[in-house]
Structure 1
Amino acid sequence: MGREVRRFKSEERKSRGEVSAFLRQLADKLDEGRITLRSGGEEVVLEPPQQLTLELQVEDEEKGARGVEHSLEVELAWFDGDEGGAVELS
């Protein structure tokens, strides 16, 4: 199994409306084929191909006195060399 390298991480509290706006902007950038993520001094540019693997996961985790933490994780995955770019008509 290969070694995992974290290239970017960001975590912050936002309102539901702010999160919705971010996800809409992310979806627009995904449609364009180029996503730039920035946080503090960190920046990463991604160019996902046309076909991606979409994974959704919902978890509930007991956090002691704070109660149960609920999470919804959305993951997009692809490999180097996966088919990308626009479809060409001839």
Structure 2
Amino acid sequence: MPETVLFESERKETLAAVASYMRTVADKLESGDPVTLEAGGESVTLDPPETVEFEVKAEREGPADGAGELSLELEIEWDENADGESDTSLSIS
């Protein structure tokens, strides 16, 4: 299935700034309001359904015998024309 990037922004931020962005998204998701992303003249508004697919991934990229790059990825997905059901539990602490 082809992928179309609707919006992309990548830059260095403090953890406090990242937490603030995530709190804003969390508040929007909890209230059922659409989420609007804006940067440099680009903008996209998404309106996720009540139930979504939530993927959490921790990765390490780089050589096995040297320093690499660590990442924490949080992804929310949903079908444009369908509403899904939750099937597993997750704990983040």
Q: Is the CA contact (8 Å cut-off) linking 1:53 and 1:76 kept in structure 2?
A: yes
**TM-score with structure 1 setting the length:** 0.81
Whole-Å Cα distance in 1 between the matches of residues 58 and 26 of structure 2? 20
Q: CA RMSD for the aligned pairs?
A: 1.9
Q: Which runs of 4+ in 1 moved over 2 A?
A: none
Whole-Å Cα distance in 2 between the matches of residues 3 and 81 of structure 1? 17
Whole-Å Cα distance in 1 between the matches of residues 20 and 49 of structure 2? 23
Whole-Å Cα distance in 1 between the matches of residues 21 and 80 of structure 2? 26
**TM-score with structure 2 setting the length:** 0.79
Q: Is the CA contact (8 Å cut-off) linking 1:51 and 1:82 kept in structure 2?
A: no
Whole-Å Cα distance in 1 between the matches of residues 38 and 12 of structure 2? 16
Whole-Å Cα distance in 2 between the matches of residues 39 and 9 of structure 1? 8
Whole-Å Cα distance in 2 between the matches of residues 81 and 45 of structure 1? 16
Note the 1:41-52 alignment, pairs <5 A. 41-52=41-52
Note the 1:3-42 alignment, pairs <5 A. 3-33=2-32, 34-42=34-42
Structure 2 spans left out of the alignment, 5+ residues = 84-93
Whole-Å Cα distance in 1 between the matches of residues 61 and 55 of structure 2? 19
Give 1 or 2 for the bigger CA radius of gyration.
1
Cα offset, 1:21, TM superposition? 1.1
Structure 1 spans left out of the alignment, 5+ residues = 84-90
Counterpart of 1:55 in 2: which secondary structure?
strand
**Number of equivalences:** 81
